[in-house]
A and B are shown apart, each in its own frame.
Chain A
Amino acid sequence: MITRENYTVFTEDFIAGKLSPEMEEAYMAFLEANPDLMDIDLEESDAKLDDGFLSQLKKPIQIDEQNLDEAIIAQLEGDLNQEEEERLEAFMLAHPEREEDRKLIALTVLRPSIGEYFPNKNVLYKKGGFRIPPAIWYSAAASVLIAALWIYGTGKNELNPTEPVFSQVETFTQEEVKPKAFEEIKSEVSTTPSKEQEANPLAPKRVNRQSPQRHIPAITPEEAPQIKRLESLPVIMASLNETEPSLTVSQLQVAHYDISFSDLELEAEKQDQTLLQYAYKKLRKTVGQDERVVPENEIPHDAATIVADKVRSYVGFNESQETVSFRIGNFELKRKKR
C-alpha cells in the first residue's frame, strides 16, 4: 500500500525501474490521487544552499603539472582563494621552467586596441525636443490636399451653382497631387542651400537667417592653419581614466558632459560655425596661444567635449605616480589620480 508517508521509497524504485508493472500502475494512481506531491516547481523554489555548504562541496583547485594552466587562469581571473594562491606561488617557485606558461597565459588578456573606434558617432546622436511623427506629416498633407480640393471645388461651384460640386472638381491622380501638397508643407520648413553649398555639397550646411545684418565671425588667417592641422591629425584614443588608460576619449567626455551634443550643435549653428570652429575658439579663448598644461577645471566643458570628439588627435598619453594626462592638439589635459 502506497501512502504519503512511504511514497518516497516507491519513487526511488520507480526511478530505478525496479517496480513491477502492477506496482508501477499503483504508484501512478497514487500520484494522480495526490497531485500536490508532483507540484514542486524547482525553478520557482526559493530553496537555496548557503555559500558555506557549497564551498564545502567544491574541490580545491589542483595545482600540479597537469592542472597548472587552470590554476594560472583562475589566478588571472581572481578566482583563487588565499590558500590556493600560496600553493600556486610555491609550485611556481619550485618549477621556474613553467613561468613561460604563465607569461603566455598573461598574453591572452585582451586589451582594446587604441586604433579602433566607431568612425561616425554623429549618425547615432539624437536631438532632443518634440519630434513630429511621420503619420502626422501624412495627415497634414492629406488635410491640405482635401482643403485644396474643397476650396477648388467650392470656387467652381460659385461660378456655376447649378452643377454639383464634385462633378466640377478636376480629378488628379495621386502622383500628380500628392507631391505638390508635400512641397507646400516642406517649403515652410526647408532651408535654402547657400551658394557655397551649391558649389560644394560637402560644405557645412547653413540655415537661412532672418537677420542678415548679424555679425558672422570668420576664422582668422592665424587660426586657419591650426584648425587645418587639427583636422588632419589622426585618431585620438586616450583617456583620463587612469584605471583603463587605453579606453577612448569618450571617457573624458563623460567627465565633462554637462551639456548635450545637440545643444552644442545649435550653439555653433547660431554662430554660423562648424562644431570644430566653435570648440577651437572656445579652447583658444581659455588657453591662450601658448602651449601649456591646462588644469582640468579650466577646460571649457563643452569645448573639450567637442574637440575630443571631432578632432580625435592623439598626441600622447602620460601617466606618472600622481597624475595622468593626455594631449589634444596643443592642449594637455591633466588630472590627479584618485
Chain B
Amino acid sequence: MTTNEYNLCVDQFADRLFRFLLKNTGNEDLARDLVQDCFEKLWMKKENVDFERSKSYLFTMAHNAMIDQWRKDKGHQDIADYEEQVGYEQNQYSGLRPIIERALAKLPEIQRSVLLLRDYEGYDYAEIGRICELNESQVKVYIYRARVAMKNYLGALNLVV
C-alpha cells in the first residue's frame, strides 16, 4: 500500500471505524484512541496489506482491540448507562434515534458488533465472520437475536410507529 493509498484509507474509513468503535464502547476518547491505534498498525503493516483489503483489516483490528479492551476492563460501564448519563446528542434527526441507540447499547457486545458491521458497513455474513472470528451461521444467529432484542425493547416502550 502506498502512502497515498494509506491516506485514502484515512479519508474513507476513519469516520466509519470511529462510529463503529464509538457505538461499541460508548466512550468517545477510547474510540478515538482505538482509531488511532488501528491506523498506526495499518501504517506499520502497509507493506503487507493491499489497499483492497485495508477496510477489512482495519475493522478486524478494531474488533480485536475492543475485545482486548473489554477483557482488560471487565467491570466496564454499561454503555446504556453511559449514554443516559452523558445524554447522546442525536435529537436533531429523530426523536426515535436516542431510543434506538439505547436499545443497541443494551445488546451483548458481540451482537452489537455484528449488527453494526452489517448495517453500517453492509458486510455480508462471511465477511463479518472473518472479522469477528465466527462462522456464518453464528453471525446470522447473532444478527437475528440482536434484532429481536431490539424489537422487543422498542415494542415494550409502546412506541407509536
Contacts and interface: CB of A to CB of B under 8 A. Distances in A.
Interface of A: 69-70, 73, 76-77, 79, 100-101, 103-105, 107-121, 123-129, 247-248, 250-251, 253-254, 257, 260-262, 309
A263 to B, nearest CB: 9
Contacts of B144: 70, 73
B7 A262 contact: yes
A115 B89 contact: yes
B15 to A, nearest CB: 4
14 contacts: A100-B155, A110-B116, A113-B19, A116-B22, A118-B14, A118-B15, A125-B7, A125-B10, A126-B7, A128-B3, A247-B16, A250-B12, A260-B4, A262-B3
Residue from the set A112, A117, A119 with the largest chain B CB neighbour count within 10 Å? A112
B96 A107 contact: yes
Interface string B91-127: 0110011001001100000000001101110000000
Interface size range of chain B in the complex: 35 or more
Nearest to A103: B161
Nearest to B104: A110
Nearest to A101: B151
Given A69-B148, A70-B144, 20 more contacts: A73-B148, A77-B118, A100-B155, A104-B161, A105-B151, A107-B100, A107-B151, A107-B154, A107-B159, A108-B146, A108-B147, A108-B151, A110-B119, A115-B92, A116-B19, A117-B19, A118-B14, A128-B2, A254-B12, A260-B3
A120 B33 CA distance: 11
B82 to A, nearest CB: 15
A39 B109 CA distance: 39
A128 B11 CA distance: 16
Q: Which secondary structure characterizes the binding site on chain B? A: helix
A124 B22 contact: no
A51 to B, nearest CB: 14
Interface in B38-71: 39, 43
Contacts of A261: 7, 11
Contacts of B14: 118, 121, 124, 250
Given A100-B161, A250-B14, A77 B143 contact: yes
Residue from the set A119, A126, A257 with the largest chain B CB neighbour count within 10 Å? A126
Contacts of B151: 69, 101, 104-105, 107-108
Contact of A118 (B18, B115, B143, B155): B18
Contacts of A118: 14-15, 17-18, 32, 35
Contacts of A112: 16, 19, 120
Contacts of A253: 11-12
Contact of B43 (A105, A126, A250, A257): A126
A123 B104 CA distance: 30
Contacts of B100: 107-108, 110
B52 to A, nearest CB: 14
Contacts of A121: 10-11, 14
A119 B33 CA distance: 11
A14 to B, nearest CB: 29
Contacts of B118: 77
B39 A248 contact: no
Given A69-B151, A257-B11, A109 B119 contact: yes
Nearest to A79: B140
Given A125-B10, A126-B6, A253-B11, A104 B155 contact: yes
Contact of A111 (B32, B119, B155): B119
Given A117-B15, A124-B39, A250-B12, A108 B161 contact: no
B152 to A, nearest CB: 8
A133 B151 CA distance: 54
A128 B5 CA distance: 11
A136 B143 CA distance: 51
A109 B120 CA distance: 9
Contacts of A107: 96, 100, 150-151, 154, 159, 161
Contact of B147 (A73, A115, A127, A257): A73
A250 B6 contact: no
B115 A110 contact: yes
Contacts of B22: 116
A121 B36 CA distance: 9
Q: Please give me the 6 A-B residue pairs with the lowest Cβ-Cβ distance, nearest first.
A: A128-B3, A110-B119, A118-B18, A108-B150, A103-B161, A118-B14
A116 B8 contact: no
A113 B146 contact: no
A75 to B, nearest CB: 11
Nearest to A248: B15
